[in-house]
Amino acid sequence: MKVLLVGGGGREHAIAWKLSRSKKLSSLYIAPGNPGTAQVGTNVDLADDDLEGIVRFASDKAMDLVVVGPEDPLAAGLVDRLEAEGIKAFGPGRAAAQLEADKAFSKHIMRANSIPTAESRTFTSFEDAKAYIASRDEPVVVKAAGLAKGKGVFVCDEPADGILAAEKIMVDKLFGAAGSTVIVEDKLLGQEASILAFVDGRNIYVMESSQDHKPVGEGDTGPNTGGMGAYSPAPVVTEKLMDQIIREILVPTVDGMNRNDTPYKGVLYAGLMLTQGGPRVLEYNVRFGDPETQPILMRMKSDLLEVMVAVCDGRLSEVDIQWDSRPAVCVVMASGGYPDAYEKGKTISGLETAAAMKEVMVFHAGTGQKDGQIITTGGRVLGVTAMGPTIAQAKTRAYEAVDAIHFEGAYCRRDIADKAL
């Protein structure tokens, strides 16, 4: 099969690496890709938001499957446009992608289907949001309703901080049009978990559990980022708890989307808070998570391409997915200053040394190539991922690989996976 993968981050490198191992694959193209994806396929000079160019390329090259990695082209309707041209595409259509692209829409789906989540209010006026937050005496979470690359969430223990967050989003337009509407939620307490599942519109196949680390600082301090590391499985998600998550969250979500006439297919990601009262949905994503994808796909033994085709064809019930029982840990190496301003163009060394280590994969995220050197081009630069017999050993291997890699200003959290130990 000829496959085109859309995207150029760490998630896409992990997906490209996994697809490249399929016996069903004849050729793999990645648009735009990165230096890591170039090692397993052919990069194409097309931006992931160039919908017209992507559709034309897929048509001209007679692609058998297009896999859409990032949320922006999904929300813009790339899958719909591909399918209109008779091209098989993996991912939800534009209407279903609202589940991530519009938090007000996702709250509506949750309320309509009795899916447990935080109590919330939706505002399109800053003055109304300000008045509501000022009337609260409990911590709140203020969220931009649109897509904000994982950075549009502010956890505020004081009303004054909540008002400042709403002002940044709605008045200062920190996230542009994505912040024209805000959601103000009650703050939930507990451990977070990421539950990803393949969905073909009717059938659900839950992947192995994982846990992300959103805040930039150790001990979950500082502002939220796109994710500073992840591990799989998450021991806090027991078999009993997973059954509850499937029964109370995943099944009602898929059923609710069908009743809403926005059927869902692709990867459904539920970001959960595991509270004393049970699991609660923090957010939905409509694609593989980043960096959760890296450890999850390291542990997946089955053919990812076969699974994706089954999802597209509505045959997910015919697929059996096998997993490696050993855990995996991913540590994100970021540019100094991220998630705020950071410098680009720093030369990266030690990649070959790290890649040669046992059970280690170095997934490229914000990298580029210049004069034969790999350089930094983004905030999250690399996802250094390792497997081991235990989470502790996987963590040790991951950090040994991290310590072999160098670039000016490199930063990483040193406590990834500690919650599992």
CATH code at position 343? 3.90.600.10
pLDDT score at 83: 98
Q: Are residues 43 and 154 in the same domain?
A: no
Same domain for 74 and 131?
A: no
Rounded mean pLDDT, 146-167? 91
- Give how many domains the chain has, as a whole number: 4
Mean pLDDT value across the chain: 96
Confidence bin at 191 (pLDDT 50/70/90): very high
- CATH assignment of the domain containing 204: 3.30.470.20
Going by pLDDT thresholds of 50, 70 and 90, the confidence category of residue 149 is: confident
Q: Is 372 exposed, middle or buried (0-12, 13-18, 19+ CB in 10 A)?
A: exposed
Domain contains 60: yes
Question: What pTM was estimated for this model as a whole?
Answer: 0.93
Structural domain includes residue 323: no
Segment 53-67 shows an average pLDDT of 98
pLDDT of residue 150: 76
Same domain for 211 and 251? yes
Q: Return the closest-CA partner of residue 152 out of 162, 164, 144.
A: 144
Per-residue model confidence (pLDDT) at position 224: 87
In 3D, which of 86, 91, 11 has the Cα closest to residue 293? 11
Residues 282 and 304 in one domain: yes
Segment 54-79 shows an average pLDDT of 98
pLDDT surpasses 90 at 278: yes
Domain of 36, in residue numbers: 2-90
Please report the pLDDT score of residue 119 as a whole number: 93
Residues 289 and 337 in one domain: no
For residue 397, give every residue at least 6 positions away whose Cβ sits within 8 Å of its Cβ, in sequence order, or none: 329, 357, 358, 359, 360, 386, 387, 388
Asked, for residue 289, whether it belongs to a domain, the answer is yes
Can you tell me the mean pLDDT for 376-399?
A: 98
Nearest to 398 by CA among 362, 367, 364: 362
User: Could you give the residue ranges of the DSSP H alpha helices within 119-158?
Assistant: 126-134
Domain end, chosen from 133, 154, 186, is at 186
Percent above pLDDT 90 for the chain: 98
31 - beta bridge partners? Answer: 6
Query: How confident is the model over 240-267, as pLDDT tens digits?
Result: 999 999 999 999 999 999 999 999 999 9
With a pLDDT cut of 70, the percent of the chain lying above it is 100
Lowest-pLDDT range of 7-11, 81-85, 145-149, 403-407? 145-149
| Packing angle of the helix pair 103-112, 94-101 (nearest 10 deg) | 100
Q: Are both 389 and 415 inside the same structural domain?
A: yes
Which pLDDT belongs to residue 3? 98
Residue 173 in this model has a pLDDT that exceeds 80: yes
What average pLDDT does the segment 336-345 reach?
95
Q: Are residues 287 and 209 in the same domain?
A: yes
Boundary-marking domain end, from 257, 291, 318: 318
Q: How far is CA 182 from the centre of its chain?
A: 21
Q: What is the pLDDT of residue 244?
A: 98
Is the same domain home to 196 and 286? yes
The helix (H) or strand (E) run that includes residue 54 is helix 51-60
Q: Is the distance from CB of 326 to CB of 388 less than 8 angstroms? A: yes
CATH of the domain at 130: 3.30.1490.20
- What is the Cα–Cα distance from 286 to 277, expressed in whole angstroms? 26
